[in-house]
Amino acid sequence: MYKIVNDFPNQLMLKAKEGPFISLYQPTHRQNPEKSQDVIRFKNLVRQMEEMLEETYPRKEIEPILDIFNRLSEDKEFWKFTYEGLGILYAEGQAIIYKLRRSLKELVVVSQESFYIKPLIRNFQSADRYHVLGLNREGFTIFEGNRYGFDEVELGPDVPTNIKEVLGEDYTDSYITAGSQGIFHGHGSRKEEIKKDTEKFFRFVDRFMLENFSKKYRLPVILVALGEYHTLFRKISHNPYLLEEGIRMNYDILTVDRLKEAVWEIIEPIYLNKTKEVVTRFQEARARFNGSDDLAQIARACAENRVDTIILEADRLIPGRIKLESGTIEEGDKDLLQYGDLLNNMAEIVINNGGNVVILPKERMPSETGAAAIYRF
């Protein structure tokens, strides 16, 4: 059994108790010729996974797992629509699949303890995620993305996305008619009625965006619309996540690449500022002895639920795990199956305790150890 999911953390991560815990990551592609090689790479990773499983588990337990992954490799409809990366987690007969908008290194981790989730944390952390609201007086479209690109959000068949569907019988065209001399009969001039309709429509869009996206995800919203629509929409909007800076162009005529460039020009300074702020917080906390990059100290703080925020190096693997009863580190060798990844274990504990996890590339880390923690007190 496998299914595509978008929520993080997922219930499988939170509730699965028995291993093996399988985490598979690979880069994928949207277009050929690279796209045609994705299934081949996936099958190679599945073979690696099989070899890892054979080291610990009997064949009768491995076969049902392989069946799920082999069925996925033969699912032609699934492989037709991929983004830049793929993340798959398996445990207790279930596999959940994340189609990701950032490229990943190929990696398979089979553990008796837990999933390897650092790549997913990095993908879902809010530092560089955003929403784009494409708007004109006829309709709207919502996009979601990060620094690596974005895609249109499917709103479902029951969501009205154009002015006629939203206003229904109150739409201007239903009660204003033109006479033979071009004189309009109704409740006011056509220009005034169109303006009223547009404002009603924009109010609906603002409420819909706020209630269904901004309150839930708390991501910055970039408005893409003609200048005149910027003025009206911002006048009526109650969305605190709507950025002051937007793109004053008709989103319908922008290419995906041009829109991506324009959006990232707005988001990049915000992303860099957020990561700079968390690094500065750590440096200040360490100076007050309220933070550390010492792995043993961080492990103890994790076990005692004293970590407010932990910064982890993206591609670093340190075999080991935290013994929660003592707060000490049980070091491993290169065998991730038995011990798992220490940094990943720290991330899991902090998330489960309601703390924050930030994943940064090596060059942006404030530490050489692979971890930097800010304590609660």
Q: Domain 126-269, what architecture?
A: 2-Layer Sandwich (3.30)
Cis ω before 64 (30° cut-off from 0): no
> Count of H helices and E strands in the chain?
13, 17
> In whole angstroms, what is the distance from residue 335 CA to residue 169 CA?
66
pTM of structure: 0.71
> In whole angstroms, what is the distance from residue 292 CA to residue 318 CA?
17
CATH topology of domain 289-375: 60s Ribosomal Protein L30; Chain: A; (3.30.1330)
Residue type, 227: G
Residue 244 DSSP label: S
Please list the rounded mean pLDDT of every run of 10 residues in the chain (377 residues).
Answer: 87 89 94 91 96 93 96 94 93 95 88 88 77 95 84 89 86 50 51 88 97 93 96 96 95 84 90 92 97 97 97 91 93 65 93 91 95 94
CATH topology of domain 2-124: 3.30.960
For the record, the structure tokens of 45 come out as 């990773």
Whether residue 93 contacts residue 61, with contact meaning beta carbons closer than 8 Å, is answered with: no
- Tell me whether domains 2-124 and 289-375 share a fold: no
Predicted pLDDT at 335 = 59
* Domain spans in the chain, listed from the N-terminal domain onward: 2-124, 126-269, 289-375
Cis ω before 366 (30° cut-off from 0): no
List, edge to edge, every strand of the sheet that includes 2-4.
2-4, 94-100, 85-91, 21-27, 107-111
One-letter-per-residue 3-state SS of 213-237: HHHHHCCCEEEECCHHHHHHHHHHC
Predicted pLDDT at 172 = 63
Question: What is the pairing mode between strands 130-135 and 140-146?
Answer: antiparallel
Nearest to 5 by CA among 88, 69, 101: 88
Widest CA span of the chain, in angstroms? 88
For the record, the structure tokens of 292 come out as 């550390």
Whole-number Cα distances in Å, 21 to 12, 62, 103: 10, 12, 22
What DSSP assignment string belongs to 147-185?
TTEEEEPP--TTS--BHHHHHGGGSGGGT-EE-TTS-EE
Point out which residues pair with 139 in neighbouring strands. Answer: 162
Predicted pLDDT at 168 = 83
**First and final CA of the chain: distance in angstroms?**
44
